Every structure is written in C-alpha cells, then in structure tokens.
Chains A and B, each alone.
Chain A
Amino acid sequence: MGNDAWRDLVRKLRSRRIDRREFMKRASALGAGAMAISGALRQVPTRAQEPTTVTFWTTFTDPDLSILQSMVETYNSQAQGHQVELVQIPPAQVTDVTKLMTAVRGGTGPDVYHLDRFIVAQRAADGLLQDLSGLGADLSPYIAFARAEATFNGKPYALPFDTDARALYYRHDLLQSAGIDPAELDPANGPVTWDRIAEIAGPLNQQDSAGNYTRMGFIPWVNQGWHYTFGFSWGASFFDEATCTVTPDEQAMVDASTWVQNYCIELDAAKVNAFGGPTMQPGFPVQQHPFIVGTLAMQITGDWAINQMETYAPDAEYGITWMPVPKEGDQSVTWAGGWSVVIPQGAKHVEEAWTFMQWFAGEPGQRIYTKESKHLPTIEALLSDTELFEGRHQFFAELLPTAKNRPPLPVGAKYWDELTVAWQKIYLNEEEPASALATVKERVQPDLQRFCPIEMS
C-alpha cells in the first residue's frame, strides 16, 4: 500500500501535477504514517510468548569467562519464563565501573552486574546499586567477611560469589638450577621469612651485558604482591573502627613497605621495574608471564593460577606454600578477595535477575564455579565439602578461615587507588614509605569522614 502511494506521488511530481513543495509535504506525511504503522505493529503481542531476557554483564576473561558461559547455559536450560544473556564488557581496571555508570544513566544498563566485592560499599554509597532487602536477601549462609563486604549501612547490596586466597608459588626447576633444594619451601616445613626469600632469590638473578635482568628470583610487587598483601603480612589493619580512621600509615605498614623498598633498591628499582613492570599492565597476556615462561622463580599469586599453570605451563614443576613471615615463628597471613553479583539501578527485570542471582551465587552456582575455576566458595557449608577441592586447591581452602580482607569501606575504590599510587612510589624508590603512606591518609580520610561512624560487623 505504501509503495503504491509513493509511486503515485512520484508520478505526479514528474508530470508536474504537483510542485516540489507539495511533493515534500506529502512525502513527509507518508513517511510519518509509515513510521506510525510500523511502531504500532511492534506493539502487537506476537512476541509476547518469547521469554524475558536478563542481561548479565561481566568483565571476566578466559579461562573463567568460559566457565561463566557454561554456568549460564546450565541455568538457562532449567529457567522458566526467562533466559540469561551473558555479555562480556571490556576488561576494566580494578575499581573502574565507567561503562556500568554511563549505561545505567542512559537507561541501557544490565539487570545483573559482576562487581568486585570490596567496592560494593562504595558503589552502594554512590547510589548505583539496588538495595536487595526488599527481595528478601539472606546473607547468613555466606562467610563473615563476604557478608560484610556485600553490606552497606546494614543493608545487603550484593550476593557474594567466589573468594580466593594468596600464597607463594615457586618453580622447582629454577630453584634447583641455582642449587637450592625446593623441599625447603614445602608447606609441611611451615612458612619461611621474607629475608630468607630474598636470600634464595639472590643467586637466581641473571643480567645481560647491559645490566638488564633476564631472569629473577623474586619481585615483591609482581602479580598479587599488593600493598594489602605485605601490610597484612606485617600485621597492619588499614582501618581503625573505633576512631573511624583509615590507617595506611600505621607502623606495621611502614615496616612492610620499607622491606619492599629496600629489596628493590638493592637490585636497582628501575631495572627490577623494567623486568617486572610490563606484567602489571592491564591486558598483559598471562601466557607470557615470567613465572609461566620460566624466567621468574617465585611469585605471590592466588588460587586461580593453578588453572593458568595447567593451561600454559603443564610440564612445569612447581609448589605452593605459605605466605612468608616477617620474623621466624610469626603466623603466616594471607588475604582474600572475590566477586559478587549486584542489581544496578534501572534494571528492567529485577524479579528474574534476582531468581538468577540466587542460583548463580547460591550453592548450585558456587559448586560449579569452585570446581571448574579453582577459586573458593563464599558459602560456609561448601568450604567443608572436600569433593570440591583437589590437590593444590585444598591448600587454599585451608588458608581461608584465617585470611584477612580489605576493610569494606564506602571509599574502598579510592583507598585502593591511593594505596596503589603510594605502593608504586615505594617500590620504584620515588618516595619514603612513611610520607607516601601519609599522603594516602590525607587523601582518603576526608571522603570517609561523612560516612562515620562505620560498623564493620
């Protein structure tokens, strides 16, 4: 019908029965009419039978992304009335949620978002997340620190997903090549001191004629050698609940930082950085990591590295042991992080999203993910399920009960970023630890002040 009207109009114009102005008017009317009809047709409930699509955004990359994909497929095969669509958004940096923020403001946000759990409080404080209490969220099956991280102002804003723990990985072949018996680092012998790690690492360092490192024994800050890692190891707590103060400048953290700075100065901080720095760039391919290719003998990393080793260095002989300690006889301390799922503001299918989240972050989802990814579950009951942990994975499950966690503050993202800048200044020998850490406090405390007092429990 529309076509005929259009042809007729063109014919009239050509035969000069209407002028150009009249032609424009009628063509516009025709176009507007066609749009109205097509719009109305879209409202006709021919598609009403199609299931609702719940959009789930994640920043995960492989190998974990594939696991999420198969979990979603499993869920979809049993879901009724809705289907979940997993969408990978570009891998972001730790505290960056730009895409989520802009999409939510633009009305095109997802129904479920995969959020690093330690910044849930900050994003909840920003008003980006939905309070889950109305949906009947019950966090009681989850381990205590995961519960605390998923809560802001006493209200649940997330369901905890996985967790993890950090430990020292060491390569047998490299240690043996420098005449060191890897048995010394066997977990059965308990933790060694950080100074002993420095002694073991020394003979493994190799340089080319220009003095550039071609092989190294240990770089404190590579991979999971974060500020929190060393701070916790020396006994730092990072937050004083009684005074509602961030404490990056406490003595334990200054001591930890001083050890790291001295280690780097000893080996020439710039040269150590030239060797290890690229691995800390976002998107650095894990298969090229010096520990995987065999040019770094020891590193601190998490449970997920078991899968990476299996995939990219299946023949490498390596061990996993306790986080080293400052002094002989000290208790080894590690820390745990992990992810969560949240419903952002503006989500269009809240009920369905909630149904999916309960499965995904509940027992069925966590069982699959723990087994496949070698991460750890946050549901307390699953931690005692020995079926879920095989071999090396078991070691991390045993670390979890005593693991520390980052204080879940409504300034968690900023605290992390500021600590990271200070950490870089420390290991690059740009600034004394005490002054770099004091700057962190100066920058974070004013932002925290308006949320005080804060109850961690």
Chain B
Amino acid sequence: MVAETIVAPSRAPAKRRGHLRLSRRERRNLAVGLLFISPWLIGFLVFLVYPIVYTIRISFTRYTGFGEPEWIGLDNYRNMLHDDLFWTAVYNTLYYTALAVPIGAVVAMILALAMNQPLPEVPIYRAIIYIPSVIPLFTLTFVYQNLVHPTQGVFNRFLIWLGLPNINWFGDPRYAKLALVLLAQYGAGQVAVIFLAALKGIPASLYEAASLDGASAWRRFWGITLPLMTPVILYDLILGVSLGLQIFTQVYIISGDPPGGPANSTLMYVVYLYNNAFRFGAMGYAAALAWVLFVVTLVLALLIFRSSRWWVHYETT
C-alpha cells in the first residue's frame, strides 16, 4: 500500500504552530460553515459523543439505569474474566463471525461472477439477489424462521425428501449457530453488488493479454480477477467482522426466552450485553462489555488492515 502525501496548497498562509490566525472574513466563513453543518454536529455530539463518554463513566459503576451510580472502580472489568457466560458469549460470537464472514465473501464472489456474465437477463437476477438487502432484518428473520421450521418449513421438507434427518435448526443447540451463519448469507447480495462493480473495473486488456498467452479461465481467475478484487475483499472483511461481532436482531427474534437460547447456544456478545442492561439491571456491567467489544473490534480491524500489506494488491498504473 502506498501512502498518499497531501501537499498543502501554496496559497495557504503560513501559520505559526498552534495558532490559527484567521482574518475576520475567514472567521465569519467558519462560523457560517459550522452553522450550516450544525444539525449534524449537534446530532453527532448529543447522540454519539455524549453516550460514548457517558458509557465510559458508568462502566466503572454499579448502575441499574435508575438512581445514583455506585462507583466500583475496575470491578466490572475484573468480573468479566471470571464470568463463564462472558466467555460463552465470546466463543459464540467468534464462532459465528469466523464462519459467516468468509462464507459470505465466497458466496458474494460466486454471485458477482455469475452476474458478470454477458446475459440479457442479468439485471433481473441482480435485482432479485439484492432484494434481501433492502428488506428489514426482522422481516427476513421471520421468513427464514418459517423456512427452516422443523415441521412446516419448506427447507426442512426438502431435507426430509432427500432422506436427510429433520433438523430443528433453532431448537437444537448443535445447529443453532450454523443456522445463523446460513441466515447471514441473505446479506450476500449487497456485497455481491460491490464485488460486481470491482469486477467491472478490471481492465479487459489484462484478460486479453492472459488469453493470448494461453491462460485458462481458472488461471485468469486466480492470476487476475482475485488479486485485483483484494481491495474490495479487504473492505468486506473489515465491515463484515465489525457487523458480525455485533449480531443481535436475528438472535433476539429467533432464540426464544431468554434471548440466546436454547441452552446459551446463540448467546452472542451483544445479546449478553443486552440481557445485562435490560433484564438483569446491570447497566454498568453492560457498559463495560460494550467498551471491551469496541476495543476488540478496533484491534481486529487494525490487524486485518495491517495484514493487508501481504495480500491486498492495488492496481498500479
């Protein structure tokens, strides 16, 4: 990866370090500019910055959400280490993310390659594949729940027809997480469309040159397509991991009472955080969990980003 250097325009007046000398006109422009973006600015400060700072504070307290928070120092963070359910939730979430994200990338790649074929009806397929991405997640989850219903689900009827055992996807702790991984593939359409855009951006001349040199389709995929797709795959990985670690809605709808069942098999990290905040009256502990999640997500994203220097190829001219 080549870092870009931004060169300050030569017209910019020389400024002493730490001092921002603005003319009256510039100051007025700045004020007007800030005024124009103030709806966003106020929203950002009130709905994002304030809650973030607030959760840091309450993560050091015992707090139900009502009354006065009681300062307990680092206890919430210490308790996490000895909390079995915390580790169950970490395991479940990593299991889900480790499967759902790479499988999602492969499915999206296959879909993108299929949509890149020069067929007249491709736009129709593209629309169909994209539809699940515009349907609200809870609707999609309800539809999926009915498809894999052990007695009435079409998908399960199909399994039985094939002579396979009837699986109670969300009722059996052995399959519940896998069922969530499968459900995540509904979202592949969205990624596939981004992949498709990247595919279209690969210069045809590269393929022509490779064909002239006798490269097979398989060889062209591994030698040209995949390397030139790596920047978007990197984007998908970082986004996918961040979203995967925050899985909540599907589990909340499907897993019954209490959320995360059966037998804690779908107790994802954010579900556990939610249970603590809104069922057990442990808002302080939930805030601490949220901060740990933030740090872990950040570290993972940085690791993926750092690893990209070995496997991401940027097209150079």
Complex Cα distance, B49 from A314, in Å, reads: 58
B160 proximal to A (CB < 8 A): yes
A316 proximal to B (CB < 8 A): no
Of B150, B171, B278, which is within 8 A of A101 by CB? B278
Which A residues, 412 to 437, have Cβ-Cβ distances below 8 Å to chain B? Answer: 413-414, 417, 420-421, 424-425, 428, 430-431
Of B65, B163, B171, which is within 8 A of A278 by CB? B171
Of B84, B172, B280, which is within 8 A of A413 by CB? B280
A11 proximal to B (CB < 8 A): no
A89 proximal to B (CB < 8 A): no
B279 proximal to A (CB < 8 A): yes
A98 proximal to B (CB < 8 A): yes
Contact status of A428 and B172, CB under 8 A, knowing A98-B278, A122-B281, A210-B166: yes
Contact status of A420 and B257, CB under 8 A, knowing A126-B66, A428-B172, A443-B85: yes
Give the chain A neighbours of B132 by CB distance below 8 A.
none
Which B residues, 293 to 307, have Cβ-Cβ distances below 8 Å to chain A? Answer: none
Contact status of A95 and B66, CB under 8 A, knowing A210-B160, A421-B258: no
Contact A281 B256 (CB under 8 A): yes
A275 proximal to B (CB < 8 A): yes
Give the chain A neighbours of B65 by CB distance below 8 A.
101, 105, 126-128
Main DSSP-derived SS at the B contact region: loop
Chain A interface residue count, Cβ-Cβ cutoff 8 angstroms: 41
B165 proximal to A (CB < 8 A): yes
User: Which chain B residue shows the least CB distance to A96?
Assistant: B279
A94 proximal to B (CB < 8 A): yes
**Beyond A94-B258, A212-B150: 11 further Cβ-contacts under 8 Å?**
A212-B151, A273-B262, A274-B150, A277-B262, A278-B150, A281-B145, A345-B66, A421-B261, A421-B264, A424-B261, A428-B172
A125 proximal to B (CB < 8 A): yes
Contact A273 B263 (CB under 8 A): no
Complex Cα distance, B261 from A428, in Å, reads: 11
Contact A96 B264 (CB under 8 A): no
Give the chain B neighbours of A104 by CB distance below 8 A.
66
The total of interchain contacts (Cβ-Cβ below 8 angstroms) comes to 107
A: which residues have CB within 8 A of B? 93-98, 101, 104-105, 122-123, 125-128, 210-212, 270, 273-275, 277-278, 280-282, 345, 413-414, 417, 420-421, 424-425, 428, 430-431, 439, 443, 447
Q: B188: shortest Cβ distance to chain A, in Å? A: 26
Give the chain B neighbours of A420 by CB distance below 8 A.
257-258, 261
B67 proximal to A (CB < 8 A): yes
Give the chain B neighbours of A431 by CB distance below 8 A.
263
Complex Cα distance, B255 from A420, in Å, reads: 13
Complex Cα distance, B280 from A270, in Å, reads: 30
Give the chain A neighbours of B230 by CB distance below 8 A.
none
Q: B166: shortest Cβ distance to chain A, in Å? A: 5
Contact status of A95 and B281, CB under 8 A, knowing A273-B172, A277-B171, A428-B173: no
B259 proximal to A (CB < 8 A): yes
B185 proximal to A (CB < 8 A): no
Complex Cα distance, B151 from A414, in Å, reads: 32
B59 proximal to A (CB < 8 A): no
Give the chain B neighbours of A270 by CB distance below 8 A.
168, 172
Contact A282 B172 (CB under 8 A): no
Contact status of A282 and B257, CB under 8 A, knowing A125-B281, A277-B168, A424-B262: yes
Give the chain B neighbours of A413 by CB distance below 8 A.
279-281
Contact A439 B172 (CB under 8 A): no
Contact B85 A274 (CB under 8 A): no
B97 proximal to A (CB < 8 A): no
Which B residues, 63 to 96, have Cβ-Cβ distances below 8 Å to chain A? Answer: 64-67, 84-85
25 pairs, A vs B, C-beta closer than 8 Å: A93-B257, A93-B259, A94-B258, A98-B274, A98-B278, A104-B66, A105-B66, A123-B281, A125-B281, A126-B65, A210-B160, A210-B166, A270-B168, A274-B166, A274-B168, A274-B171, A275-B150, A277-B170, A282-B256, A413-B280, A417-B258, A420-B261, A428-B173, A430-B263, A443-B84
Q: A49: shortest Cβ distance to chain B, in Å? A: 35
B116 proximal to A (CB < 8 A): no
B126 proximal to A (CB < 8 A): no
Of A94, A96, A430, which is within 8 A of B173 by CB? A430
Complex Cα distance, B85 from A94, in Å, reads: 20
Which B residues, 208 to 225, have Cβ-Cβ distances below 8 Å to chain A? Answer: none
Q: B6: shortest Cβ distance to chain A, in Å? A: 32
B177 proximal to A (CB < 8 A): no
The winner among B149, B151, B264 for most chain A CB atoms within 10 A is B151
Of A280, A281, A439, which is within 8 A of B84 by CB? A439
